[in-house]
Amino acid sequence: MNIKKFAEATGLTPRALRFYEEKGILQSRRDPENKYRVYEKKDIDIANRISQFRKMGFSINEIAGMLRASHDLSVEKIRKNIEANLDKLQKEMAALQKKIYASETLITASTKMSPLTSQQKTALKNAAFTNLNAWTIKYVDECLSRKQLGSDEELQMVACSYADLILKVANYGSLRELGSSHKLIAKCLKKIKEPRLEKRHIKLANAYFNMAKNPAWVPPSK
């Protein structure tokens, strides 16, 4: 079957299928007449397993390692890898639960003893924004450093770069911080080849940087 029919059968986009082929975890053959990609029915199972592994949180390299272990996708090594990944996720969840519990304890204690002061409320708010913003920046930086991204990763990268701007606005970020956010968005748009939107955010970034240097600065009229 051709790539369009194969995409419909697996629920994956043609772009994702090409990406997986570039990474060596899914192979197609070429039609000798037109050189188009063609797939066999047995490839559907492999594509579905790749999709399942991605949903479980495995990286492309981890999936490639598991698939190279054996042509049999139900080998013991794959089961152990899944269990190890599950254990990792459970540990991360447990750590998150501890943070949630600590936050709830603080809130409960503050309501029993005395109301939080405005400074304490601001400190808690800033800490929450800082932690979330640090995660978004880290994810975007990781995506920008990769040579190529899948379509889902591209969407997540751009969404996180916009989230950085939203968090800065919500937390009353400085003009320079807002300029940095627009610059980050422009980098992400350049990565996915969106020059028109990229130029718009570069222009906004420069405007914020200029206002930070000179509060009296105004954008030039067209």
DSSP for 128-140? HHHHHHHHHHHHH
Q: What angle do CA 170, 173, 178 make, to 5 degrees?
A: 100
Q: What is the pLDDT of residue 103?
A: 62
Low-confidence ranges of the chain (pLDDT < 50): 70, 72-73, 113
Ordered structural domains, the chain, with CATH: 3-69 (1.10.1660.10), 116-212 (no CATH)
Angle subtended by helix axes 60-69 and 42-55, to nearest 10: 140
Q: What is the pLDDT of residue 162?
A: 86
Q: What is the pLDDT of residue 130?
A: 66
Q: What is the pLDDT of residue 75?
A: 53
**Residues 199, 174, 132, 170, CA torsion sign:** negative
Q: What is the pLDDT of residue 102?
A: 66
Length of the chain (residues)? 222
Q: What is the pLDDT of residue 115?
A: 57
| 15: number of Cβ within 10 Å | 14
